[in-house]
C-alpha cells in the first residue's frame, strides 16, 4: 500500500509537470486515435517514471516548445500508467521499437522522426532540446 501511494505521487507530479509545460494528456485509446491523425504536426512525449524522464526528458519537453518553429500540437502518453493509450500511440510510430521516455514527431498522423530513450538517457536536457528543435526546424512551420 505505501509503495502504491508513493508511486501515485510520482505519477501525479510527472503528469502535472507536462500539463504546466503545455502538453495535453492522452489517457485512452480513443483520445489517441482522435488526436494523432489530426492534420498538421504533433509532438508526442512518451512519459515514464524513470530518472531520465524526470531529469532529462520532461525538462527538455518543457523547454523545447519555446521556439520560433514548433508543432501544431503537443501531447503526451504515459508508459506504464495509461498502457492502452500508449500501446495505440506506439502503433503510429512505425519502424521504431517501444521506447520510454521518447518523443515522436508526426505529421497528419504519420511518423516523421523520433528521439528515442538511448538519445535521452545519459544526455543533458539541452542536448535533447537541440534534437527536438532540429526536428522542428526541419518539419514545422514558424509560429
| Residues marked as catalytic | 50, 52
Long-range CB contacts (within 8 A, 24+) of 123-127: 123/56, 124/56, 125/55, 125/56, 125/59, 125/60, 125/63, 126/60
The torsion angle over the Cα atoms of residues 62, 67, 73 and 76, rounded to 10 degrees, is: -20
First-to-last C-alpha distance (Å) of the chain: 47
Q: Residue 78: how many CA atoms within 13 Å on its side-chain side?
A: 21
- Distance between CA 101 and CA 57 in Å, rounded? 7
- Distance between CA 2 and CA 142 in Å, rounded? 47
Amino acid at each position: 500500500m505505501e509503495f502504491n501511494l508513493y508511486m501515485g505521487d510520482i505519477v501525479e507530479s510527472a503528469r502535472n509537470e507536462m500539463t504546466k509545460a503545455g502538453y495535453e494528456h492522452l489517457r485512452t485509446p480513443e483520445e489517441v486515435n482522435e488526436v494523432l491523425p489530426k492534420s498538421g504536426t504533433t509532438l508526442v512525449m512518451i512519459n515514464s517514471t524513470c530518472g531520465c524522464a524526470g531529469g532529462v526528458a520532461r525538462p527538455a519537453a518543457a523547454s523545447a516548445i519555446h521556439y520560433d518553429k514548433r508543432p501544431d500540437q503537443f501531447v503526451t502518453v504515459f508508459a506504464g500508467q495509461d498502457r492502452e493509450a500508449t500501446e495505440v500511440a506506439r502503433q503510429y510510430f512505425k519502424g521504431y521499437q517501444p521506447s520510454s521516455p521518447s518523443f515522436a514527431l508526426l505529421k497528419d498522423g504519420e511518423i516523421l522522426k523520433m528521439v528515442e530513450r538511448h538519445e535521452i538517457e545519459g544526455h543533458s536536457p539541452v542536448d535533447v532540446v537541440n534534437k527536438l528543435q532540429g526536428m522542428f526546424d526541419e518539419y514545422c512551420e514558424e509560429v
